[in-house]
Amino acid sequence: MKAKNTQSKLGSIINQYGIYLMFLLLVLVSTFISDNFLTYKNIMSVLRQISVTAVLAFGMTILIISGGVDLSMGSVVALSGMVGINAYLSSGSYVLAFVVSCAIAMVVGYINGILVTKFLMPNFIATMAMDTVARGSVYIYTGGSPIYQIGELGLVSSTYVGPLPLPVIFMLAVGCITFFILKFTRFGRSLYACGGNKEAAAASGINVGRIRRMAFLVSGFFVGIAGILQMARLNSGLPDTAMNYHGDAIASAVIGGTSFTGGVGSAVGTLVGAMIIGIISNILNLAGVQSYVQQVVKGLIIIVAVAFDLMGKARKIKKIRANTDEKKAAK
Amino acid sequence: MKKIIALLLVLVMVLAMGACAKTEAPAETPAEKPAETPAEKPAEEPAETPAEEPAADEPVKIMVMAKKLADPFCTWLMNMTKATFEEQYPDVEFTIVDQNGDPSLTESFFDQALLEGYDACLVQKVSGSQDTDALFQKFAAEGLRTVIMNNEVDDGTTSSVFAAEYAMGEMVATYACEQLPENAKVCIIKSTPSLFSSEQRALGFTDVLAANRPDVEILDIKNVEGWDKAIAINVASDWCQRFDQIDAILSCNDGMVLGAIEACKADGRDVQTMQFYGIDGLADGCLSIEAGEQTASVLQDAAAMAREGVRLVMEVVENPDMEPTKFEITTLLITPENIADMLQMHRDNGVIK
């Protein structure tokens, strides 16, 4: 009986903190593999590399928790970023670049929300179609040509504030906003409720459609920020950039413990998920492993993370059923 | 309400059937095509014209297939192709279609070109390793001839205009051999594995370095999927953590080496003393050479390629039985010495201000 309890507790700890344990293990192993891994420069390099993906992943986390998903993120990064560059070039204002970029991404996000909640289109279909629309729009907008001279906008990527590069500060700020929304706001609680059980949420007075549209809006805001960060990092405007970035965003969220069936997830978990992906690429590069192996490893980790998630859920359901049966038998 | 919907549906069906009848007709009887443009030709005349030969003043139709319009070099090449047609053959009807990096689309576009009565196709292959010989021969047999831009083809029916990929790698590496310090340590960035242009250019780098500078150590060679600048930044960032000394980075195109420059800057390295070599001579590469960051590039002259491609395709239209020819365009090493001319060329083309 005691052994069973210990096993159950261990299972519960692994379920709850498995991803953090995995992260620590990865850091430990990486430190052994390369002397350069645990240095300030390398950590900053990894954080810079994941900054755009992590910002997108925070938006994706909010969406997945609410029961949605957005496959148009990468294309919207390109669209909003390109328009943002032009806003910057015509005004010289960094703020305007961000405002314009965020506005465009939020409009696209809201349209996604309308398609999903008003027209009842499946998330995958609506956002996949929007991905094509957004990518096509950016090609029409630019005529397929890059913007080679983006002026001082590149400073958004290269400037340091104290010890931290600006993109990392943006990433942490977006992470804090996500954490605050999910942990301390009514909207955040509604997101979990909508994703966990849509019918129950509606029955308890939550306007599910409105909450999910709001989720798309908040996510769009993050995508707009990512658009400028991406272009600044490239130091040019490339209309074909950020292809399939939604894949990395989903991977970060799911590895970080966000349940693809909705209702479960956290900002900290997503940050850790993004860092795990970044560290894997980084350590394999430091070890001189070819980049295609990284893709295989990344894919395998997603499989393991999702399998853990589903197994954990299955265990929970089994436990609830067993408890219910026991209570029935006692009666 | 139901009646109105039913009536509307019937109307839509009738219109659709009418439209189908109109679009299908030219495929079977190409001579009837001009009937759709009555302003240019009397309605009765096309019926007299033999089906095999286009009418005398029927505009020549060329389908131009772009590799991937979002690719900067492809965009440049297509802009130059468009400009060449407009300047030299204003009466020619040309349509640029995008294969979007997907070789499986090539055949579909050929089917479409045949169906819509195009006279010839000007194609930028998705990859040099894409086996298109049988495809081009099949469509040539059906009367649709092809000219290839940006790749060399040797199938006995297709003419091609190209810049030699290996030679471009050789050219920039030869210059690098003169510039690199003794016992230099270099890294090489390639694109997607098995991509002909990337593999050939990289082979040019390694062969020349091995033959002329045995003291040079190649620290690492990495593939970057789809020439992606963002991935190149990540790869070079990790190199910066892995290697204390990197004297030069050679890349199979300008975009990726510019990504490497951004990564080295972010790492706090002095990019003015490091050396960065690319290929293509794109505008951003030239601007970087002017700024003293990129060391050299090779001009793969899209304007010349487009000019010769258009000339060849018009020759094929004039004389469908002409023997296939190959035209190798001259490449040019771009260094700080001739950068002003290159920038002027890009300004003249409207690529930069």
For residue B265, is pLDDT > 50?
yes
Instruction: Please tell me if residue B230 touches chain A, with a CB cutoff of 8 Å.
Output: yes
Contact status, residue A9 vs residue A1, Cβ threshold 8 Å: no
Calculate mean pLDDT across residues A139-163: 89
Look over chain B and give the mean of its residue pLDDT values, rounded to a whole number.
Answer: 84
pLDDT at A302: 74
Residue of A38, A145, A153, A244 to mutate for B, most B C-beta atoms under 10 A: A145
pLDDT at A285: 85
Instruction: Please tell me if residue B239 touches chain A, with a CB cutoff of 8 Å.
Output: yes
Instruction: Please tell me if residue B287 touches chain A, with a CB cutoff of 8 Å.
Output: yes
Q: Convert the pLDDT of each residue in A61-100 to its tens digit.
A: 999 999 999 999 999 999 999 999 999 999 999 999 999 9
pLDDT at B7: 52
Q: Give φ, ψ of A127 to 5 degrees.
A: -80, -25
Beta bridge partners of B223: B190
Closest CA–CA distance from residue A232 to any residue of chain B (Å): 10
Q: Give φ, ψ of B188 to 5 degrees.
A: -125, 135
Yes or no, beta carbons of A235 and B262 under 8 Å apart? yes
pLDDT at A266: 94
pLDDT at A4: 65
Spatial neighbors of A169 by CB under 8 A, at least 6 apart, are A161
For residue B285, is pLDDT > 90?
yes
Yes or no, beta carbons of B266 and A157 under 8 Å apart? yes
Chain B residue nearest residue A49, CA to CA: B234
CA dihedral for B243, B246, B252, B253, sign (positive or negative): positive
What is the three-class DSSP state of B63?
strand
Instruction: Please tell me if residue B225 touches chain A, with a CB cutoff of 8 Å.
Output: yes
The minimal CB distance from A234 to the residues B229, B239, B268 is found for B229
What are the helix (H) ranges across B267-332? 283-290, 302-318
Residue of B67, B189, B242, B294 to mutate for A, most A C-beta atoms under 10 A: B242
Beta bridge partners of B252: none
Residue B235: list chain A partners with CB under 8 A.
Answer: 285, 291
Instruction: Please tell me if residue B240 touches chain A, with a CB cutoff of 8 Å.
Output: yes
Instruction: Please tell me if residue B291 touches chain A, with a CB cutoff of 8 Å.
Output: no
Look over chain A and give the mean of its residue pLDDT values, rounded to a whole number.
Answer: 90
Max Cα-Cα span within chain B: 86
Alpha-carbon span A239 to A136, nearest angstrom: 10
Yes or no, beta carbons of B72 and A157 under 8 Å apart? no
The minimal CB distance from A41 to the residues B74, B267, B352 is found for B267
Residue B74: list chain A partners with CB under 8 A.
Answer: 144
pLDDT at B28: 33
Residue B225: list chain A partners with CB under 8 A.
Answer: 291
pLDDT at B40: 37
Distances (CA, A) of A181 to A61, A62, A217, A227, B338: 11, 9, 13, 22, 56
Calculate mean pLDDT across residues A190-209: 94
Least Cα distance to A33 among A284, A219, A208 occurs for: A284
Query: Where does the pLDDT of residue A3 fall: very low under 50, low under 70, confident under 90, or very high at 90 and above?
Result: low
The minimal CB distance from B287 to the residues A148, A165, A234 is found for A148
pLDDT at B157: 87
Alpha-carbon span B59 to B43, nearest angstrom: 16
- ipTM here: 0.85
What is the three-class DSSP state of B246?
coil
Residue B351: list chain A partners with CB under 8 A.
Answer: 145, 148
For residue A111, is pLDDT > 90?
yes
Instruction: Please tell me if residue B72 touches chain A, with a CB cutoff of 8 Å.
Output: yes
Yes or no, beta carbons of A45 and B225 under 8 Å apart? no
Q: What percent of chain A has pLDDT over 70?
A: 96
Spatial neighbors of B149 by CB under 8 A, at least 6 apart, are B77, B81, B122, B123, B124, B160, B161, B162, B305, B306, B309
pLDDT at B68: 87
Closest CA–CA distance from residue B262 to any residue of chain A (Å): 7
Say whether pTM exceeds 0.90: no
Instruction: Please tell me if residue B349 touches chain A, with a CB cutoff of 8 Å.
Output: no
Yes or no, beta carbons of A146 and B72 under 8 Å apart? yes
Q: Convert the pLDDT of each residue in B10-32 to its tens digit.
A: 455 445 444 443 333 333 333 33
Chain B residue nearest residue A231, CA to CA: B230
Spatial neighbors of A276 by CB under 8 A, at least 6 apart, are A19, A22, A23, A26, A255, A256, A301
pLDDT at B34: 34
pLDDT at B56: 56
